[in-house]
Amino acid sequence: MNLSLNLLPPRLRPLARAGVPLAPLTTFRIGGAAALLVEPASLRDVSDLLAACRASGVPLFVLGGGSNLLVSDEGVPGVVVSLARLKKIQVIGSHVIAQAGANLATLVTRCSQAGVAGPQALAGIPGTVGGALAMNAGGRHGEIADWVERVIWVNPRGELESLYREEIAFGYRSSTLREGVVVEAWLHGGVGEPAELAARARTILQEKLAAQPYSEFSAGCAFQNPKGMSAGRLIDLAGCKGLGVGGAQVSTMHGNFIVNTGSATASQVLELMRMVQERVQAAHGVRLEPEVRIWPACAPAA
């Protein structure tokens, strides 16, 4: 799909590029190009961009660190907004104000250095602060919602708005923030000793490195854990470890990771996800739902 820069207000055009390959901007390293990629430099740019997309009926896709994304081989027929330029982090006492494009690992390090306890639980999760909020990223040590005070976002109506924690519905690897564009987060942690907090973050990171295929191209867990069960365990028991379609393979290290061994296409990953869903359904009578976000939206079993 070709999109003209003219759909954007003149002020935003220098921040936009057409036909930008998205694969290098994702941890899966898969997918086609964005019709337009825009990198706003201010909160106002984000709301102006949303307004322009709404006015012209062009779909908007929000890109963080691309660590939970599978982009279709045909690319994305709309505007992709990347918040990579909005990455300031400020720590005031036990409060942290972080822009959405800030790296989550940097946030964890800054919290440890400043003696802010809690977000160390997020050590080892790739991506940005905005993506973590949209996905309610976390694991067995906690999830980002645990430390949210408030969030500034551009809501689906295109307005810049501040939401308190109680106004946001966070679920398991999901939040209502995915309906708009998060631009800034205010987090609040406890008080800790910097050296101890850094050690805790290191321990959690080491745990993840030992259990997950970090050095390979993936988008993290492919499927959500069904209530009270481990998707990885169900996949292992269904005999899917090592199963492959083209360059896509179920990791031999962790059954819930699908890895790109180098040449995988999005359609191969989707085909493999469909096979895994079928085998798990047949073996356990459980339907696995994707955790990875698929652009543009489509079901693996479609």
Q: Is 8 or 144 the residue whose CB approaches ligand FAD more closely?
A: 144
Q: Taking the complex as a whole, how short is the minimal distance between the CB of residue 282 and ligand FAD, in angstroms?
A: 27
How far apart (Å, rounded) are the C-alpha atoms in residues 261 and 245? 11
Angle between helices 104-114 and 194-211 (to 10 degrees): 150
Q: Is 159 or 193 the residue whose CB approaches ligand FAD more closely?
A: 159
Q: Is 115 or 189 the residue whose CB approaches ligand FAD more closely?
A: 189
Q: Is 83 or 115 the residue whose CB approaches ligand FAD more closely?
A: 83
Cβ neighbors of 203 (< 8 A, separation 6 or more) are none
Q: Is 97 or 283 the residue whose CB approaches ligand FAD more closely?
A: 97
Rule CB under 6 A: is residue 66 a binding residue for ligand FAD?
yes
Q: Taking the complex as a whole, how short is the minimal distance between the CB of residue 205 and ligand FAD, in angstroms?
A: 10
Rule CB under 6 A: is residue 187 a binding residue for ligand FAD?
no
Rule CB under 6 A: is residue 119 a binding residue for ligand FAD?
no
Q: Which of 180, 254, 195 is nearest to 220 (CA)?
A: 254
Q: Taking the complex as a whole, how short is the minimal distance between the CB of residue 152 and ligand FAD, in angstroms?
A: 10
DSSP output for 57-88: T--EEEESSSTTEEE-TT-EEEEEEE-TT---
Residue 183 backbone phi and psi in degrees, to 5? -115, -25
- As to burial, measured by CB atoms within 10 angstroms (0-12 exposed, 13-18 middle, 19+ buried), residue 55 is exposed
Rule CB under 6 A: is residue 131 a binding residue for ligand FAD?
yes
Binding mask 230-269 for ligand FAD (x = CB under 6 A): ----------------------------------------
- CA 179, 185, 186, 190 torsion: positive or negative? positive
Q: Which region among 123-131, 198-206, 232-240, 270-278 touches ligand FAD (by CB under 6 A)?
A: 123-131
> Which letter does DSSP use for residue 134 in this model?
H
Q: Is 115 or 132 the residue whose CB approaches ligand FAD more closely?
A: 132
Indicate which single residue of 76, 132, 197, 276 sits in contact with ligand FAD (rule: CB under 6 A): 132
Indicate which single residue of 31, 192, 220, 232 sits in contact with ligand FAD (rule: CB under 6 A): 220
Q: Is 173 or 279 the residue whose CB approaches ligand FAD more closely?
A: 173
- 190-205 in b/e form (b: 16+ CB < 10 A) is eebeeeebbebbeebb
Q: Taking the complex as a whole, how short is the minimal distance between the CB of residue 224 and ligand FAD, in angstroms?
A: 10
- CA 21, 289, 61, 220 torsion: positive or negative? negative
Q: Is 126 or 189 the residue whose CB approaches ligand FAD more closely?
A: 126
Indicate which single residue of 19, 59, 139, 142 sits in contact with ligand FAD (rule: CB under 6 A): 139
How far apart (Å, rounded) are the C-alpha atoms in residues 130 and 61? 13
**Using alpha carbons only, how large is the chain's radius of gyration in Å?**
19
Q: Which of 213, 223, 290 is nearest to 256 (CA)?
A: 223
Q: Which residues bind ligand FAD (CB under 6 A)?
A: 27, 62-69, 83, 100, 125-128, 130-132, 134-135, 137-139, 173, 177-178, 181-182, 212, 214, 218-220, 293
